[in-house]
């Protein structure tokens, strides 16, 4: 006999498998509950038992929605790459500030500002986010030069 219930401590489905052993007909409730085995369900696995990736969980049905998923994936990767290069440049600025390397700081500072402005133009970052980050970088660079 199979029954699916929710685990009261966690909000995940649990399958209760009743393992009824050969016993007298007048078996009481305590013996029945002792024979219960909790088996967690396989909610995040496909029919082959492989883990499902986050983007593959919800498959679109219409061609336009499928195209939208493909476009979103490309854009997400492009945006991630751009953000990564910005963060790398900012880290290089901080490492140059720690080493008191004025030439490196000025070089990476110009690159960071150019990349932040480019990200705003492409719609990857909000303009106020970029402005805030540029302002904070400028304060750091000015503190080094003074």
Higher pLDDT, 114 or 37: 114
Task: Note whether 83 and 31 are same-domain residues.
Answer: no
Task: Note whether 81 and 140 are same-domain residues.
Answer: yes
Task: Note whether 91 and 136 are same-domain residues.
Answer: yes
Write out the residue range of the structural domain in which residue 134 sits: 77-145
Q: 102 to each of 86, 96, 132, how far by Cα in Å?
A: 20, 7, 22
HSE-CB for 76 with a 13 A CA cutoff? 7
Q: Quick: pLDDT tens for 116-134.
A: 999 999 999 999 999 999 9
Q: Quick: pLDDT tens for 77-112.
A: 999 999 999 999 999 999 998 888 888 899 999 999
Q: Is the pTM of this model over 0.75?
A: no
For residue 130, what is the domain's CATH number?
Answer: 1.20.58.110
Cα-based torsion angle of the residue sequence 56, 57, 58, 62 in order, rounded to the nearest 10 degrees: 30
Residue 28 falls within a domain, yes or no?
Answer: yes
Task: Note whether 135 and 84 are same-domain residues.
Answer: yes
Residue 66 falls within a domain, yes or no?
Answer: no
Residue 72 falls within a domain, yes or no?
Answer: no
Beta bridge partners of 39: 15
Number of independent structural domains in the chain: 2
Answer whether residue 29 shows pLDDT above 60: no
Residue 124 falls within a domain, yes or no?
Answer: yes
Residue 117 falls within a domain, yes or no?
Answer: yes
Greatest mean pLDDT range, 3-17, 44-58, 69-83: 69-83
């Amino acid at each position: 006999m199979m029954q699916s219930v929710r685990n009261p401590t966690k909000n995940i489905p649990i399958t209760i498998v009743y393992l009824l052993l050969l016993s007298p007909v007048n078996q009481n409730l305590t013996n029945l509950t002792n024979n219960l085995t909790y088996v967690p369900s396989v909610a995040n696995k496909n029919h082959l038992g492989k883990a499902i990736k986050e983007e593959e969980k919800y498959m679109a049905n219409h061609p336009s929605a499928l195209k939208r998923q493909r476009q979103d994936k490309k854009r997400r990767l492009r945006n991630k790459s751009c953000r990564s290069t910005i963060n790398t440049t900012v880290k290089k600025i901080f490492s140059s500030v720690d080493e008191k390397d004025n030439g490196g700081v000025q070089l990476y500072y110009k690159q960071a500002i150019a990349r932040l402005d480019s990200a705003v133009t492409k719609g990857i970052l909000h303009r106020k986010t970029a402005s805030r980050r540029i302002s904070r970088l400028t304060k750091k660079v000015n503190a080094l030069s003074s």
